[in-house]
Amino acid sequence: MMDLYYSFIIPAYNESERLATSLPKVFAYVRERQIQAEVIVVNDGSSDNTAEVTRSFASRYPEIRLLENPGNRGKGYSVRNGMLHANGDVLLFTDADLSSPIYEATKLFAAIEQGADVAIGSRWLQAALQSERQPWYRQLYGRLFNLGLRLVLGLKYRDTQCGFKAFSRAAAHTVFSRQRVERWGFDPELLFLANKFKLRTVEVPVEWAHDHRSKISPIRDGLKMGLEMLDVRWNDLRRLYEHPSMIIEESHIQPVSPAEIAK
């Protein structure tokens, strides 16, 4: 790997059990590859001891940082919060369950180092890499949602929803400073913004295993994500993405007033 600084962002809502297993794997990856890195756990208003588990690891591993959301705001908010507070040259977000093993990050980092602005993990470019597939009804929902994204947002990727994506620092600032969707439907917005601002985005096949403890409901959350997809198109028609809605300054997020957005 090149001599870069890497940020790993892990959104976490009631993830104390998973973090106890996942964080050592992330730290082992960082140490084995001898890379300079930080690991940011974003606590999304958890009611369990997610924060305490993270602090316990932070006392032993100087790479870790804990960010606290102002209550439960959603996965999209958590990822944005982590990304806009990160210090890395290359920034990656991953789910707390590491459905894609952390060593697969090497593939995404390589794509960034070879000139991509955004590298997204894909479960479907090489389906044989899936060690455990989703139930059929989740696969059906995913295909229908993907069709909607092609029709409404013009996204032609095989897999937009894999929670394993990497960004160059410049690309992260361009995309996340404009992100408005704060819950499950934020991934398509990120890719729509990447396309809008002509960022080079590559889809990379990665290993992946379905976790039966997944918190997303195909029906309830699927409907919300469909509405959020329409929100993205509506936001673009209203030119809300022309200017950042967040100002990034010395790793802090500052909201921009509606008057500034309208300029």
Higher per-residue pLDDT: 251 or 87: 87
Q: In terms of residue numbers, what domain contains 233?
A: 5-261
**pLDDT category, 217, cuts 50, 70, 90?**
low
Average pLDDT over residues 3-19: 96
Question: In 3-state terms, the chain is what percent helix, strand and coil (to 5)?
Answer: 40, 20, 40
- CATH number for the domain spanning 70: value is 3.90.550.10
Average pLDDT of every residue of the chain: 85
pLDDT band at 222 (very low <50, low <70, confident <90, very high): low
The predicted structure's pLDDT at residue 10: 98
Q: What are phi and psi of 111, to 5 degrees?
A: -65, -40
Identify which of 111, 5, 11, 3 has the alpha carbon closest to the alpha carbon of residue 54: 11
40-88 confidence digits (pLDDT tens)? 999 999 999 999 999 999 999 889 999 999 999 999 999 999 999 999 9
**Number of domains composing the chain:** 1
Rounded CA gap, 159 and 182, in Å? 19
First to last CA, the chain: 41
How deeply is 5 buried, as exposed, middle or buried, from its count of CB atoms within 10 A (0-12, 13-18, 19+)?
middle
148: its two tokens: 């909607």
The pairs formed by 192-195 with CB atoms below 8 angstroms and a separation of 24 or more are 192/153, 192/154, 192/155, 192/232, 192/236, 193/241, 194/117, 194/118, 195/154, 195/155
Q: What is the pLDDT of residues 86-140, one digit of tens each?
A: 999 999 999 999 999 999 999 999 999 999 999 999 986 666 555 566 665 566 5
Q: Does position 221 have pLDDT exceeding 70, yes or no? A: no
Residue 98 region, left (φ>0) first, then alpha (ψ -120 to 50), else beta?
left
* 22-26, 83-87, 104-108, 183-187: least confidently modelled range: 183-187
* Whole-number Å distance between alpha carbons of 22 and 11: 12
Highest mean pLDDT among 71-75, 156-160, 211-215: 71-75
